[in-house]
Amino acid sequence: MDLGSINWLAVVVCVVVSMISGSLWYNPKTFFPVWWKVVGAGREQPGMENMGMTWALTVLASLVQAVGMAFMLNALGSTTAGSGAMFGFMFWLGFVAPTYLVNKLFAGHGLKIWAIEVGNHLVNFVLFGAILAAWR
């Protein structure tokens, strides 16, 4: 794992892309109301009690995902947006989607919440793959 093999600007762009996609995905005019009705389960909407920590960890998680994907794409030799997007899809399909499925089913959240949450990750992983593979 050579840190010098990573295009850090592309990683930062991936983090920004994930923040934008998440803001759109979980907007009050898109999926947030349906998602919150189940996940919030009677609590007030996300409180401001510790939003700084929530955002910091969200950015960190996105950064870790982008760096991990950059390492994988470099190891796989992916150099085109199309191949990167396909690998992003396969990583999502093989790791994210099934893990979330088990978690959501055992939490009693059901398939609708699973689809909302993994849908956002699908968008991010496909875009991350395309960006990181094409921009080396």
| DSSP per position, 16-38 | HHHHHHHHHHTSTTTTHHHHHHH
Residue 57 CB: number of other CB atoms within 10 A? 11
Q: Which residues contact 50 (CB under 8 A, 6 or more apart)?
A: none
Query: What tens-digit pLDDT sequence spans the chain (136 residues)?
Result: 678 789 999 999 999 999 999 999 999 999 999 988 888 766 665 555 678 888 999 999 999 999 999 999 999 999 999 999 999 999 999 999 999 999 999 999 989 999 999 999 999 999 999 999 999 8
Tokens of 92: 């999502």
Residues 106 and 127: their CA atoms lie apart, in Å, by 29
Number of residues assigned to the chain:
136
